[in-house]
Amino acid sequence: MSNQQYAISYWPDTDELIAKAKRLISLPPRPVRRDKMQEYLNYFETRCVKSKESTAEAAKYIPGGVQHNLAFNYPFPLNIRKADGAYLWDVDGNRYIDFLQAGGPTVLGSNYPGVRDKIVELLRECGPVTGLFHEYELKLAKLINKHVPSVEMFRMLGSGTEACMAAIRAARNFTGKKKVIKVGGAYHGWSDQMVFGTRIPGTGTYEAAGIPEECLQNTQEFYPNDLAALRALLEKNATEGGAAAVIVEPLGPESATRPVHRDFNQNVRQLCDEFGALLIFDEVVTGFRIGMGGAQGYFNVKPDLTVFGKCVAGGYPGAGGVGGRADIMSLFSAGIGSGQQKTLVGGTLSASPLSSAAGYFAITEMERVNAPILAGQAGDKLCKGLRKIIDELDLPFFVYNHGSILHLETHGVLLVDLSDPEFLVKVFLRKKIGEEMGAAYTAEGIITLAGSRLYTSMADTDEVIEEALAGFRRVLSNCEEAK
């Protein structure tokens, strides 16, 4: 077994990636050739008949016919019946390599028997929920504390969105300050205060339909890597009551779609200390995926609070939680008689025996079998293979990875800069091309996240990666020539 502790085996050159992103956006897009795209669309019409029927009916009862933001909608969503290890099967019997990984929680691979069997046992004994304390709550909290020592105390919640809300509320209650600063482009769930500068930096309230302006008055954003802008915000806030917290995705917004410099988190930590703001790490994706110690272990930076999701319930429901310094966390239990105002959180199904046991067994197993490292090694192999294909075909595309989190940038919709005079035109065009790329990969038997992000798991053996690379090669070799 390797001695590697973290899944990131090399640090991609951030400035080089930023330069490649700029170049990609400056060039005319290179979508899949029209004749080939038609063939890919025919795949859906002829081979995915049951998916088409059922998801068309779903659209009558479910808005858009699909309830997962990461699900593929073009040309229509697939109806998935079976998941096992590296693969998914749709209702028409087609098999796919799964690089969506449900958005990230299944580092062990899908439907991992070692966790599932324990959960079935637990369900037989006490069902999914009682509303009372269960021993797996303690076991999970202790396990997280062992791997992520900054988490002196842990409170489990229903989702990453809830956990971000709770972390921000805790920071405000503890510091008595209001402002919260995030990095532009980052997604921290869909709570009122966090739908700000999502996906593309600088877009502020663009996606905040249905959210009163007042809810976002105390949320601010700065461009990824722009530490001078963060300092300026903190200085301004200092004259207006101060900032409660800075919240970051430690690899950069949208799982490093906009990658940050390696010393970014350390610098943010220093600025937080200088201005008395708490540092919140959103480790919803990176927690246990980057290594058992999370991104904070990799960077050796200690946040005040950490937000968990996804892996924290091992792919089972109720995947969320916040943890950190005992003095801040204790306020979740404060209240009448304690002399301090309580940070109120709740959730009928939060910290259920099901969620707690699933998290406990999954994380225990991930450590035992070295899952984050194996998933990271699969990511390295996939990235290397894709880079070779891109180079051989002389395409302006680029690919990089942080262990098991990969970005295959062919259209770059999230990389368009707001200052670009043709911003909207480019975004709409590139979004469409991204949908097509995703559909083409799917027709070649590969499920991706939005046609550009790939999560690998421990189940991605060399054989799986080879099969995937052959599929990617077929799609990429059918992209239009440079104009």
Half-sphere exposure of 479 (CA within 13 A, CB side): 25
Nearest approach in angstroms of CB 253 to ligand PLP is: 9
- Cβ contacts of residue 352 below 8 Å, gap of 6+? 128, 129, 130, 134, 318
C-beta closer to ligand PLP: residue 137 or 249: 249
Helical spans, DSSP H, in 62-134: 113-126
* Residues pairing with 156 in the sheet: 321
Of 204, 173, 418, the closest CA to residue 304 belongs to: 173
Choice between 163 and 440, CB closer to ligand PLP: 163
Closest CB to ligand PLP among residues 161, 220: 161
Active-site residue, selected from the candidate residues 90, 282, 304, 460: 282
Cα 447 → chain centroid: 16
Q: How far is the CB of 176 from ligand PLP (least distance, A)?
A: 25
Query: Which position has the token pair 């809300």?
Result: 165
Q: What are phi and psi of 95, to 5 degrees?
A: -105, 140
Among 6, 87, 112, 187, the active-site one is: 187
Structure tokens at 244: 């409660």
Q: CB neighbours (10 Å) of residue 194?
A: 25
Q: Which residue's CB atom is positioned nearest to ligand PLP?
A: 160
Please give the C-alpha separations between residue 53 and each of 17, 47, 89, 265, 467, in angstroms, as whole numbers: 42, 12, 17, 48, 29
- State which residue, 48 or 66, has the beta carbon closest to ligand PLP: 66
Give phi and psi for 331, each to the nearest 5: -65, -15
Compare residues 70 and 238 and give the one whose CB is closer to ligand PLP: 70
For the question of residue 187 being annotated catalytic, the response is: yes
What is the CB-side half-sphere exposure of residue 373 using CA atoms within 13 A?
13
Active site (annotated) includes residue 384: no
**Of 149 and 317, which CB lies nearer to ligand PLP in the complex structure?**
317
Q: Which residue is catalytic, options 177, 179, 182, 310? A: 310
Cβ-based burial of 45 (10 A; exposed 0-12, middle 13-18, buried ≥19) = exposed
Which positions touch ligand PLP (CB under 6 A)? 103, 159-161, 164, 187-189, 249, 282, 284-285, 309, 319-320
Least gap, CB of 373 to ligand PLP (angstroms): 22
CB of 105 to ligand PLP, least distance (A): 9
- Shortest distance, position 94 Cβ to ligand PLP, whole Å: 26
- Residue from 173, 198, 170, 175 nearest 186 by CA: 198
282 as an active site residue: the answer is yes
In angstroms, what is the minimal distance from the CB of 290 to ligand PLP? 12
- 367 is written with which tokens? 């450590």
> Where in the sequence numbering do the catalytic residues fall?
187, 282, 310
